[in-house]
Amino acid sequence: MRHDDARSDTIPLHPARRTVLAGAAWAVPAIALTAASPAYAGSNSALITVTTPQQQIVATGATTVTATVTTEAGAPAVGKAVSFTAPSGSVVTPSIATTDGNGVATAQVNLGTPWRTPGSTVVVTATVGGDSKAQALTVLGANALAAGAWDSGLRSSGTTRTTLTQIELVFPSPVVQIASSVLVLLEDGTVWTRGSNSFGQLGIGSTSTGREAWGIVPNLTGVTQIASGFLRSNYAVRSDGTLWVWGYNGFGQLGLGTTTSATVPTQVASLSNVTQVDAQRSTAYALVGGAVYAWGQSDYGQVGNGTSGGTAREVSPVQVVAGGVAQIATNTSRCAALKTDGSVLIWGLSYATSPAPFTGVSGVTSLGAASTTMYARLTDGSAQSWLANSSGQGGNGDTTTSLTMARPIVSLTSGVRVLAGSGVDQGNQTGTGYAWMDDGSLRSWGHNRYGEVADGTTTNRTSPLTPALPTGTPPIVGLTDVYGDVFAVVVKPD
């Protein structure tokens, strides 16, 4: 993570005058904080305090910087010329402002660095006469792009993006994973939520009105991986291997032994040493030492313990695969497990109610999943898919469904690094597929009603295309399955 050089020592300018650099600090955006003690100056000089909301500054776009100038007697210093300076390349408007009757002067500072590392530090300085105050500010940013139904948080609002564009620049640490349009994990191990809160899915201890703005989930730290189910049930694996859950629990999909929703992150006490969590419509899965545990709704046998039917459910985790599993991938009503020997087990809708070999593919190195489709990367770097394909989400160049045999994805015959997918609509058998290639480029195909293919249209695509990235986008570093009709990519911050 890059931090611009910011000195915190006292620098003499002339006798009885000095420049002070306040240390950086950050917290959840909401309250304006002032800088540390103002610089002391000579008997005829002014005292300067520099502030921004939360001592933070957005990576690009205008941030209001306020300089408050007082006399040594504590009275407002009226009519003083204040010169504002910021890092090289910034635009400061105006660069010189005059204090008002309250001794206050303001300027708009635009760093103009959209991909600057969130959480890094920059310095803005206010100078009055021969006295200066340098204030360290924490950068808010976002090293991620999204397309599709991102802006609404919930798809029903109809807000869409048809190209990949940078998400909101509001995070004080780099983004490492996006699980849905309402759930994001940051590099500092915190989890951020937004959207509806009818079942406590914001994780803030209530079912109060939802929020459009991103906010931190309190008392949840050290998180290394997240998952989202139906935009209302959330999951987080911490660095100590514990699993924490919150939100909707009507089918027992939180694994807490009840069907009572949770408004704060709550530990699934029966599981430890969790290395992966995944979730679908109302069922969840965890990988523990190569074994697969499942819980929640099992109307199509997707729990994998032999149960099925409209009322079938498990409210606590049950082991369904004893070991030898390297990865799990889920879609609306199915789960696939990649074994360490490259073979695949599958269960749920259209398959058995217990894990059984899927013989239609072999030599698999990793899996991905859209809402009704499975993807496999093979040892030669090629990609295949199977299951539903009505929107072209199989990427096979047609709309033919294949339940028993994986089929090649058009043009992805080598060089595939990661496969992923998105989508939620089981009834319409939709889904969108994505590939991150070895050369750093992307491919996308399938359902596109909400622009989630990111080709500038809302036309479904049966074969992969290469979506454009904004000019200046840093290299891609992450691509994972996303719940909801959203295409999300994590990039390397500057």
CATH code: domain of residue 401: 2.130.10.30
> Which residues make Cβ contacts (< 8 Å) with residue 310, sequence separation at least 6?
299
CATH code: domain of residue 66: 2.60.40.10
Mean pLDDT of 133-146: 98
Last residue of a domain, one of 97, 116, 139: 139
Is 160 found in the same domain as 124? no
State how far the Cα of 283 lies from the Cα of 303, in Å rounded to an integer: 7
Kindly state the helix (H) or strand (E) to which residue 473 belongs, with its residue range: none
Is 124 found in the same domain as 22? yes
Phi, psi at 454, each rounded to 5°: 65, 40
Phi, psi at 442, each rounded to 5°: -115, 160
Is 151 found in the same domain as 131? no
Mean pLDDT of 217-226: 98
pLDDT class of 99 with cuts at 50, 70, 90: very high
Is 148 found in the same domain as 111? no
pLDDT at residue 130 tops 70: yes
State how far the Cα of 118 lies from the Cα of 123, in Å rounded to an integer: 15
> Which residues make Cβ contacts (< 8 Å) with residue 231, sequence separation at least 6?
154, 180, 181, 182, 195, 196, 201, 424, 483, 484
Is 303 found in the same domain as 230? yes
Residue pair 423/393 in contact by the 8 Å Cβ criterion: yes
1, part of any domain:
no
User: Token pair 């069922």 is at which residue?
Assistant: 283
Is 322 found in the same domain as 242? yes
Residue pair 158/200 in contact by the 8 Å Cβ criterion: no
Is 218 found in the same domain as 79? no
- The whole-number pLDDT of residue 428 equals 62
- The whole-number pLDDT of residue 429 equals 67
**Cβ atoms within 10 Å of 311's Cβ, excluding its own:** 10
4, part of any domain:
no
Residue pair 115/103 in contact by the 8 Å Cβ criterion: no
53, part of any domain:
yes
Under DSSP, is residue 157 helix (H, G, I), strand (E, B) or coil?
Answer: helix
State how far the Cα of 108 lies from the Cα of 96, in Å rounded to an integer: 11
Residue pair 453/442 in contact by the 8 Å Cβ criterion: no
State how far the Cα of 20 lies from the Cα of 33, in Å rounded to an integer: 17
From residue 252, how far is each of 137, 171, 242, 312 by CA, in Å?
44, 32, 18, 11
Last residue of a domain, one of 96, 113, 139: 139
Residue pair 191/183 in contact by the 8 Å Cβ criterion: yes
pLDDT class of 348 with cuts at 50, 70, 90: very high
199-216 confidence digits (pLDDT tens): 999 999 999 889 999 999
Kindly state the helix (H) or strand (E) to which residue 178 belongs, with its residue range: strand 175-180
Smallest CA-to-CA distance from 487 within 470, 467, 473 is with 467
pLDDT class of 230 with cuts at 50, 70, 90: confident
State how far the Cα of 435 lies from the Cα of 246, in Å rounded to an integer: 30
State how far the Cα of 143 lies from the Cα of 2, in Å rounded to an integer: 13
Mean pLDDT of 71-91: 96
**Region of 393 on the Ramachandran plot (φ > 0 left; ψ -120 to 50 alpha; else beta):** alpha
Under DSSP, is residue 368 helix (H, G, I), strand (E, B) or coil?
Answer: strand
Under DSSP, is residue 156 helix (H, G, I), strand (E, B) or coil?
Answer: helix
Mean pLDDT of 400-410: 97
DSSP 151: T
279-327 confidence digits (pLDDT tens): 999 999 999 999 999 999 999 999 999 999 999 999 999 999 999 999 9
- The whole-number pLDDT of residue 153 equals 54
Smallest CA-to-CA distance from 483 within 237, 229, 226 is with 229
Which residues constitute the domain of residue 308?
144-491
Mean pLDDT of 70-74: 92
Percent of the chain with pLDDT over 90: 85
When divided into structural domains, the chain yields a total of 2
Phi, psi at 155, each rounded to 5°: -60, -30
Last residue of a domain, one of 94, 119, 139: 139
3, part of any domain:
no
Mean pLDDT of 47-51: 96
- The whole-number pLDDT of residue 160 equals 87
User: Token pair 């069907």 is at which residue?
Assistant: 259
Q: Omega into 474 within 30° of 0, i.e. cis?
A: no
Per-position b or e across 357-370, b if 16+ CB within 10 A of its CB: ebebbeebebbbbb
Is 75 found in the same domain as 165? no
Is 230 found in the same domain as 320? yes
